[in-house]
Amino acid sequence: MTRSHRRRLVAPAVAAALALPTGLLAACSAGQLAETSKITAAVPGAYSTVQAGDRPDETIQVANATVDYNGPKGYAIGDDAPLSIWIFDNTHEDITLTGVNSDRGQVVIADGATPGAPSVCQSSARPIQPNPSTGAPNQGVAPSLGASGGISPQGPTGTPSNASSAKPTSSAQEAASGSPSASESASAAAATETSTEISVTIKSGGCVALTKGSSQFLQISDLTKKAVPGMTVGLWFTFQKNGGGQFTIGSAQQPLTVPVDVPSSAGARPPATVPTPGE
């Protein structure tokens, strides 16, 4: 066999050998992409803590803070963006959240779905632990209903000062008169009542959940910039300790970066849009 003939036989064999692992790699990559696309972070929210006592473990914590998911389009300029935030008091005294600010608009407080109901942190679907991706220390309490001085029995103690008080007799008369439009209008108005005066007390050793499903929640009013999944907003918090002292988490110069939440499951994600050639 001549050298040139031998070279012609070797070349196709080498090409075939190279093509085999390439094909296998492509197949594996496709399978890996499909599986990993279903994985979501256990704790997508932001987490931060500040020491608020003589001991290092006496802290105030903001945990699992997110902007609520509002579909793939998120929030446009001028929209109101509700927040989900858990606050822990790991000190020996009650603390009060007295202010929240944002780089995307004014933060207000509003009544949630269950005004006046207890804010039971541990019943949240989201685990009470810091986001592993932040590298923050894993510290703090996991509250329980039987714990001494645990969860605030009344949830957040502050109520929106601008919210009008309900009048049961008037509501009953509207319901009896068969006027659903009047009662629906009253319900809609009550649901949108907000206040710029924030005063939420967290009991010593306890926590509160500020979410739309709790007694109260925070929201950024009249967004100055859009907020879509994959983006973050800046927040900073001011707390007052009952025994004296003011503490902050985040600042205007270095805010806590809070992500816009994502769907909780792969099934909730919208189908991907494949661009056509030339787009």
CA distance 83 to 66: 6
pLDDT number for residue 117: 65
* pLDDT value at 65 more than 70: yes
Q: 79-111: per-residue pLDDT in tens?
A: 999 999 999 999 999 999 999 999 999 999 998
pLDDT number for residue 129: 44
Q: Is the pTM of this model over 0.75?
A: no
Domains, the chain, in order of start with CATH, read: 46-160+197-261 (2.60.40.1890), 162-192 (no CATH)
pLDDT number for residue 112: 87
CA distance 213 to 236: 22
**Which range (55-69, 83-97, 191-205, 218-232) has the least confidence?**
191-205
Q: What is the mean pLDDT of residues 117-132?
A: 46
Where does the pLDDT of residue 273 fall: very low under 50, low under 70, confident under 90, or very high at 90 and above?
very low
CA distance 128 to 112: 20
pLDDT number for residue 256: 97
For 107-173, give the DSSP string: EEEEE-SSTTS---GGGSSS-SS--GGGT----S----TTSTT-S-TTSS----TTPPPP-HHHHHH
Q: What is the mean pLDDT of residues 182-201?
A: 64
Q: Are 157 and 74 in contact (CB under 8 A)?
A: no
Q: 132-151: per-residue pLDDT in tens?
A: 333 333 333 333 322 222 33
**Which range (65-69, 96-100, 200-204) has the least confidence?**
200-204
Which residues have C-beta within 8 Å of that of residue 184, sequence separation ≥ 6? none
